[in-house]
Amino acid sequence: MLSLNNELINAKVFKNKTIGSDYVCELIRSEICENDKSSKKTVLGLATGASPKLIYKRLVHLYQKGEVSFKNVHTFNLDEYYPIQPSDPNSYHHYMDEHLFNHVDIPPKHINIPNGTIDQNEIETYCTSYDERISNLGGIDIQMLGVGRNGHIGFNEPGSKLGSKTRLVTLDKKTRVDAAEKFSGINHTPRQAITMGVSTILRAKKIICFAWGAKKAFAVSQLFNNGVTQDYPITFLKEHSNVELVLDKGAASLIDSKIL
């Protein structure tokens, strides 16, 4: 493992995504177990997509071995396609059930995922209440975060504002192209989504951002080669004082080796 602590970014580079995922999993496990010891709840911000799959697999494994419990865990997912039914195999509701919730002891009422079926004219109120629910629980302890090829975080596409809150957004062409295979073609791929805002994400106490593979290398390198710019929402992470960037060699391949 390589560590780099350039001014603002604390990054770790692992040989491969399996080892990197184990590392992220351990950070989450220890946060939950520490909070349990002092009878405190843990609030997690959860990500979807290909990147966190091994992290969830490992967390389920630790739960099965009795090394962690989700009884006192509350979760808020980053995003969901809109419109989409929770039962749709491509929904993030379905993803979360399949990869985590169906296999652990989290009370269903502790689970929060943006609702892809909400009526169009209720979306604004709904999104405001999503952010309020997070605040009412004392904020997110650990926010898991993947990154899109275009540098998006959650579904905060290029052009998103630093102060943005949870809201309905239009998806970037690149994002839709990346999702098209799952949806059996671009024409069936949703054009919109509900996402936590940039400011919602940045309010988390700790952010763990992970990326695997060379296809993420360009987006990741923007953190090091750019200032804070809405062209690459990942750069907004520089505004947070407790971010850990976890990469494999491929995702770190465009970071200047002088930094490493």
**3 state SS of 74:** strand
> What is the rounded distance in angstroms from the CA atom of residue 223 to the CA atom of residue 236?
9
Active site residue 80: no
Q: Report how far Cα 154 is from the mean position of its chain's Cα atoms.
A: 6
Count of positions on this chain that bind ligand GLP (CB under 6 A):
13
Site membership for ligand GLP, residue 155 (CB under 6 A):
yes
x-or-dash string of contact with ligand GLP, 69-88, rule CB under 6 A: ---------xx---------
Site membership for ligand GLP, residue 148 (CB under 6 A):
yes
Nearest Cα residue to 259 out of 5, 1, 10: 5
What is the footprint of ligand GLP within residues 163-192 (CB under 6 A)?
Answer: 175
Q: How many C-beta neighbours within 10 Å does residue 224 have?
A: 20
> What is the rounded distance in angstroms from the CA atom of residue 39 to the CA atom of residue 175?
40
Tokens at 250, concatenated: 């491929």
H-type alpha helices, the chain: 17-37, 53-64, 92-99, 123-136, 173-180, 198-202, 217-225
x-or-dash string of contact with ligand GLP, 210-249, rule CB under 6 A: ----------------------------------------
Site membership for ligand GLP, residue 158 (CB under 6 A):
no
| Secondary structure element (H or E) that encloses residue 116, with its range | none
State the residue for tokens 């936590």.
Answer: 196
Site membership for ligand GLP, residue 49 (CB under 6 A):
yes
Site membership for ligand GLP, residue 146 (CB under 6 A):
yes
Active site residue 103: no
The distance of closest approach from Cβ of residue 80 to ligand GLP in the complex, given in angstroms and rounded to an integer, is 9
Q: Which stretch binds ligand GLP (CB under 6 A): 22-30, 49-57, 99-107, 238-246?
A: 49-57
> What is the rounded distance in angstroms from the CA atom of residue 65 to the CA atom of residue 33?
14
Q: Which stretch binds ligand GLP (CB under 6 A): 2-10, 34-42, 144-152, 228-236?
A: 144-152
Q: Which residues are catalytic?
A: 79, 150, 152, 157
